[in-house]
Structure 1
């Protein structure tokens, strides 16, 4: 795959090839019920109490204990402004929290490029994996369901998701036709710790028996975060007070006073306020033979990044001299415009049940301000697309075979441009298969990725081939619900551009 090809042309090749594959497999449509959903394995998860993993287009991944799901009242109770903070009550999950404005999930100790954060199976296509003070461009206030995937299921989304994947399902592309003249969902909340106000809502309007219009929006505003006691941890505060004594002894009274003020800060963490606005609109056709829909969404946030004594957003000068600290507090102003597509074709009763296509395009930019001055501008433009062929279940055997494409261009300009302009192109093949053998269940997954990472301005171009696989076996002796299982996996991933090209450490 040539890097000179545009993301749009790469996507068109992927969609064209999968469409030809589907046409050669079966021209027929499956029989559906009156609502337009497939009789088996329909994707209407709103009225199903079972834990159904929708993202991999498999009905259930319960062989291995690798799936956690937030939905309904539990999701409502745990919603926070950033996706990482919304998941911290689940086992094995923490977050990289930079106060209310930025929080990315940490799964079993893995973070950054080792954890994928997805919207309906497609990556967020932002800069959140570049640094933990960069926000994830997903607003949980508009989520209908959040899935945390581990084990073999993760191979559906990327070999780089060694720690796992977090998949947020929303209704920006409608999944079913409402029975009412219109359907409204709304949520509002308040948190006292940061004077946190939030509100979100969505509207679905059936334009016909098969056509649905959707619009949603959310707003969140927080102040600085209140805490109990000193801002600095005891050991860090002791270090700062020791510096106060040293500066005083040397006669640097202004520096000593500034350090003393830092050590005595308490009750409130300065520069942690945030404001977030998001909106999306979508249109979907849902018919007997399949479905197709698209959406356009906008995400805008402005938030502060709190400083740590001795570890501010400092950077070296152009000549590699002494580090200089910024003149004012660091704030980030972030915008993303995103276009999404989802389509599915029912293939009948043959070997394959359906062909599902999913694609997303993102135009992302955020500016880091140091006081009133522009420090660094980060931009990301990318397309991610995937196609899955879902197998009909036969004699206890079911599965999915698919391909995935990612094209991502990254650039950073300014004082903290610690990663040079670079491009990533990746294409993958994957499968996951489940076999029910009575009391025993077997799950097999495999994935192959071919990734090219290049940066023309530093004459860098490397390619990586990676293979990942997993095997699981479970035994259920009776109907009591007891299940004993074991799984073995080997995961391999290409390094991220940040791991290959970073010019020194980044303070976050």
Structure 2
């Protein structure tokens, strides 16, 4: 952990040296929608938050959600090809990181395996939020590691005086990518409406080195089976009055992408989603608002072989409801309490008559939650609690029921105006996911034969986090250190045995057995920004590190590398440009069954944009350069790190218009 102390010491000393010179100018506020208090990003002192919006979001948008968020503080990506890359927060992945769309679960199967894409499209997002801490308790036990909320506002909450929207087209050189996305909002009387859509085609992307690490004779040029094809669209409308609103939306996603494994699989993903959202202001005495949401998702994806024939078909039908009641200040406390339900039918069945990967399983969840905040003298406090019952009922196998308890409390002491010292303690429990309990068949896209355990216990996480930060002026910084003790941590163990499609000794599939053991994840983060969103010069430096270990000895699999990065930008008039460099150290902290270290790398990106007025419209011409050094980048959090490097140098040309 030498790097941890070095990076943090440098960041803290640099930050403290600016105290006497910091300006008092304030940057624009971005509102975080996934918290019960809807406060600004920089006010989330007990719920560490990052919000990507506006130009920053457009500059970072990639072909997957993981790629889009991969350079945020404490966030890495699973990098399972261009089509499937899920965010990993502080070394925790899969079902421990909750994926939301407009505050509701995306209800896909991306948490099951790294080859499954998140069924929420970043190209049509208005903003993307990353949250941890007490507010995450509103959204379930799957938020032990944190949550990511994609906000596309398909159900509008305001009446527009005239139609507004944006349209964007872009082309990328490394993958010959063509993309078009846009959205429009309008109103008719007291009815507001919204429409959005996106279209993207990419070819196999260029790689800067031979495909297989250490094998100069392996394929080069382009990475086989890394092409993608995505289509999505959504419609929504709301009736808006002074008392609040009620609205509904429908959306459709179709996604076909390659898996750059030796088998050369493809995944054909489809999802239809229906949502209802409503808000009543001052519903009765003593309460500020009542919210009710409901969402129904019909999800399906087929894993196709190299002849485009389905081998395994994953299905998930889910109905989720949420009701939240926010009360007026009571003895100084502000807060929200509510209930949440979910009914889910999931399966991963063989299309070839062999063993099913996961049997048909019906799951239900019933939960109640409470999140509160109060000023206790100079200390601002935030606390939350959640109780939940989760039932798993497979058509064959053992029924399970889990009673879950979660709680979190924290405080921030502004020892000097504009500076804060804080601590957060949390206790969270997670029910084993369906695949962790009942897997018993081949998963061809990952070349594994998965074996679950229906006797697993619930996971229990105890986390402590300490924060020192400066939250005002043009120069702002924060330092976080954390330690997470997880009892009965569930992970997939590659045993070394080789099996066939029927689970007998063979040469096709690696045996992956889900196991439980106590684990500890600890780490630190530091970030300093200057003039983050204002005109003129801006800058950012950051460093993050985390390490996950089994208490009995050995590392957790797929742990992120230590990173340090810096960026500089300039904005004046219609011009905007920036340059960023991220250095990742080599990663040799491997699990017992992992065999390949990942070397360090430097990732240099740049962007340049010019906005002009054409009639009543703002038109922005932009150029984004990624991996300018054309480095061979293999990330330690990728299952395919041995055979699938990230893309080489790529230029993205585009135009965007707002009206």
Using the size of structure 1 for normalisation, the TM-score is 0.78
1:380-459 map, 5 Å = 380-393=316-329, 396-414=332-350, 417-456=356-395, 458-459=396-397
SS of the aligned residue for 2:430 comes to coil
Counterpart pick for 2:103 among 121, 136, 139: 121
1:395 to partner: Cα distance: 6.2
Q: Cα–Cα, structure 1 residues 201 and 165, in superposed 2: closer, same or farther, change >3 Å?
A: same
What corresponds to 1:250 in structure 2? none
For the pair 1:59 / 2:57, whether they are aligned, the reply is: no
CA contact (8 A) 2:312 2:443 kept: no
Q: State yes or no: 1:110 paired with 2:92.
A: yes
Runs of at least 5 residues in structure 1 that lack an aligned partner in the other structure: 1-47, 239-262, 313-328
Which residue in 2 is equivalent to 1:141?
123
* Contact 1:442–1:472 under 8 Å retained in 2: yes
Whether 1:486 aligns to 2:423 is yes
Secondary structure (helix, strand or coil) at the match of 2:71 reads coil
* Corresponding position: 1:503 with 2:440: yes
Are 1:56 and 1:121, in contact at CA under 8 Å, matched by a contact in 2?
A: no
1:171 Cα deviation after fit = 2.0
Following the alignment from structure 2 to structure 1, what is the Cα–Cα distance between the partners of residues 183 and 102? Answer: 17
Instruction: Please list the CA deviations of residues 369-428 of structure 1 after superposition, one character each: whole Å capped at 9, or x if unmatched.
Output: 112222111111111111111122456421110111111101222157321111110011
Question: In the alignment, what sits opposite 1:343?
Answer: 278
Equivalent of 2:201 in 221, 240, 245: 221
Distance 1:406 1:107, change over 3 A: same
Superposed counterparts of 1:170-209, under 5 Å = 170-180=152-162, 182-208=163-189
Question: Which residue does the alignment assign to 1:269?
Answer: 223
Distance (Å, rounded) in 1 between the aligned partners of 2:49 and 2:290: 24
Task: Say which structure, 1 or 2, has more relative contact order (CA 8 Å, 6+ apart).
Answer: 1
Relative to structure 1, the CA distance from residue 334 to residue 436 in structure 2 (aligned partners, 3 Å threshold; closer, same or farther) is: same
Q: CA RMSD in A?
A: 1.8
Alignment of 1:5-24 (within 5 A): none
1:107 to 1:218, Cα distance in 2 relative to 1, 3 A: same
**C-alpha distance after superposition, 1:144-194 (max 9, x if no partner):** 0111010111111112211000001112111211122x1122223232221
Q: Superposition pairs for residues 230-269 of structure 1, below 5 Å?
A: 230-234=210-214, 237=215, 263-269=217-223
Q: Which residue of the partner structure matches residue 292 of structure 2? A: 357
Shift of 1:463: 0.4
Q: Distance in 2 between matches of 1:279 and 1:455?
A: 33
| Equivalent-residue separation in structure 1 for 2:47 and 2:105 (angstroms) | 24
Deviations 1:189-239 (A, max 9, x none): 23222122211111212111x2112111100111101111111112xx39x
CA distance in 2, matches of 1:276, 1:107: 26
Write out the 4+ residue segments of structure 1 that deviate beyond 3 Å after TM superposition. 393-396, 504-507
Distance 1:213 1:489 in 2: 40
Quickly say closer, same or farther: Cα 1:122–1:348, change in 2 above 3 A.
closer
Distance in 1, matches of 2:175 and 2:257, equals 13
Instruction: Please say if residues 330 and 369 of structure 1, whose CA atoms lie closer than 8 Å, have aligned partners that are also in contact.
Output: yes
State the secondary structure of the residue aligned to 2:359: coil
1:285 to 217, 239, 251: 239
Residue 78 in structure 1 maps to residue 72 in structure 2: no
Determine the C-alpha separation between the residues in 2 that align with 1:76 and 1:264: 35
- Aligned to 1:73, what secondary structure does the other structure show? helix
Whether the 8 Å CA contact 2:368–2:387 is kept in 1: the answer is: yes
- C-alpha change, 1:188 and 1:439, in structure 2 (3 Å) is farther
1:497–1:504 Cα change, 3 Å: same
Aligned to 2:515: none
Instruction: Pick closer, same or farther for the CA change 1:381–1:478 going to 2, 3 Å.
Output: same
1:161 maps to 2:100: no
| CA spacing shift, 1:192–1:416, aligned 2, 3 Å | farther
Structure 1 or 2: larger strand share? 2
Which residue does 2:450 correspond to in 1? none
Alignment coverage as a number of residue pairs: 412
Gapped regions of structure 2 (runs ≥ 5): 1-26, 447-659
Q: CA offsets, 1:84-116, max 9 Å, x none?
A: 111111111111122221111111111111010
Q: Once structures 1 and 2 are overlaid, which stretch shifts more, 79-88 or 462-471?
A: 79-88
Instruction: Verify the 8 A CA contact 1:63 1:442 in the aligned structure 2.
Output: no
Tell me the secondary structure at the aligned position of residue 371 of structure 1: coil
In structure 1, the partner of 2:305 is 370
- Given the two structures, how large is their TM-score scaled by the length of structure 2? 0.61
| Alignment deviations for residues 17-51 of structure 1 (CA, whole Å, 9 cap, x no partner) | xxxxxxxxxxxxxxxxxxxxxxxxxxxxxxx9324
Match of 1:483, SS state, is strand
